[in-house]
Amino acid sequence: MAYNLKNCVTAMIGCFLFILLVLPSSYAFLCEESTDCHALLKFKEGLRSDPKGHLQTWNKANPFCNWTGITCHPHLQNRVVDLELIDMDLRGGISPFISNISLLTTLSLQGNRFYGKIPSSLGGLSELAFLNVSKNNLEGNIPGSLHGCQSLKVVDLNYNNLSGIIPKELSWMKNLTYLCLSQNRLTGVLPSSLSNLTELTQLEPAVNYFTGKIPPQLGALRKLEILYLHRNFLEGSVPTAISNCTALREISLTGNLLSGEIPLELGAKLQNLQKLYMIDNNLSGKIPVTLSNLSQLTLLDLSLNNLEGKFLQSWEC
């Protein structure tokens, strides 16, 4: 009996040691057999600098679902769904191989030093719902192919060096709720087709080089809560139709070339409005008395215009 027990223990120890020896190579095999893992390694190859060593775990000796910034599907084995590398000071290009991670739902690369173009191949990620590449050094055009990401709800491209126009294809992404393009070098007019994005709650094309008029069609965005158009070269009047966006909480039109009168309807209809900025334009006429109806208003700045009239006591925030 003692002899059999000894043999059993010896066999168990042998199995344990075998597992320890084989396990790393099993992970490596897993990675070699995985399209997702291969795409991640290609992404890493595209980096020129990882000064803080955040991606040291990204090697075949570790299961790739445990790599820094990676989340895998809870039910589908070894399928990556989230890639989040935020504020890591990473420098390099964004690899087009990312589009091979076919179940990717979140791509968050904000606060790094990525440069080059946004890969047009990202348009193949049909499950992608959240795209944030803000606060990088990306340049070139916004790829129209992004319309292929029909699940997209959030697109944040703020604080880059993107140029060109807003592609019309963005207006085809019917699930989009958040479109932020501020602090780039975008030009052209604001497309009236943005009114097709009826789920939008936040629209921010501020601090660019947009010209032309504010499209009155934006009045169709009934769920819009935030509208930031400041620091562009927009001209013409403030469209009355904006008052149809009754969910609006914040409007910033500061630093444009807008003229004419402030529509009375803004004060009559936008009962949820909390902040209204129209600083430094060419607005004229009387300050609408209807603005005193905005009971939720906490910040109102109409300075550096050619407006007439005085603020009533009831307007004090």
| Contact present, 124 and 146 (Cβ < 8 Å) | no
**Rounded to 5 degrees, what are φ and ψ at 291?**
-60, -20
Cα 204 to Cα 32, 41, 116, 194, distances in angstroms: 42, 34, 23, 12
Q: Which two tokens stand for residue 159?
A: 């604080």
Q: Which residues, other chains included, contact 288 with Cβ-Cβ below 8 Å and sequence gap of 6+?
A: 261, 262, 263, 264, 266, 267
d(CA 262, CA 240): 9
Cα 195 to Cα 5, 152, 224, 252, distances in angstroms: 77, 17, 10, 18
Q: What percentage of the chain has pLDDT greater than the value 90?
A: 85
By C-alpha distance, which of 143, 79, 154, 87 is closest to 117? Answer: 143
Which of 28-42, 113-127, 301-315 shows the lowest mean pLDDT across its residues?
A: 301-315
**Average confidence (pLDDT) over 59-86:** 95
**Looking at per-residue confidence, does 18 or 47 come out higher?**
47
Q: Which two tokens stand for residue 277?
A: 């900025």
pLDDT band at 287 (very low <50, low <70, confident <90, very high): very high
Biggest CA pair distance of the chain: 104
pLDDT band at 30 (very low <50, low <70, confident <90, very high): low
**Average confidence (pLDDT) over 77-101:** 97
5 has pLDDT over 80: no
Q: Which two tokens stand for residue 174?
A: 């019917």
**Rounded to 5 degrees, what are φ and ψ at 310?**
-120, 155
pLDDT band at 309 (very low <50, low <70, confident <90, very high): confident
- pTM, rounded to two decimals: 0.89
Helix/strand/coil for 209: coil
| Contact present, 202 and 222 (Cβ < 8 Å) | no
Burial label for 256, CB within 10 Å (0-12, 13-18, 19+), is buried
pLDDT at 4 (0 to 100): 52
The fold for domain 68-315 equals 3.80.10
Give strand pairing partners of 180: 156, 204
**Rounded to 5 degrees, what are φ and ψ at 216?**
-65, -20
d(CA 263, CA 24): 68
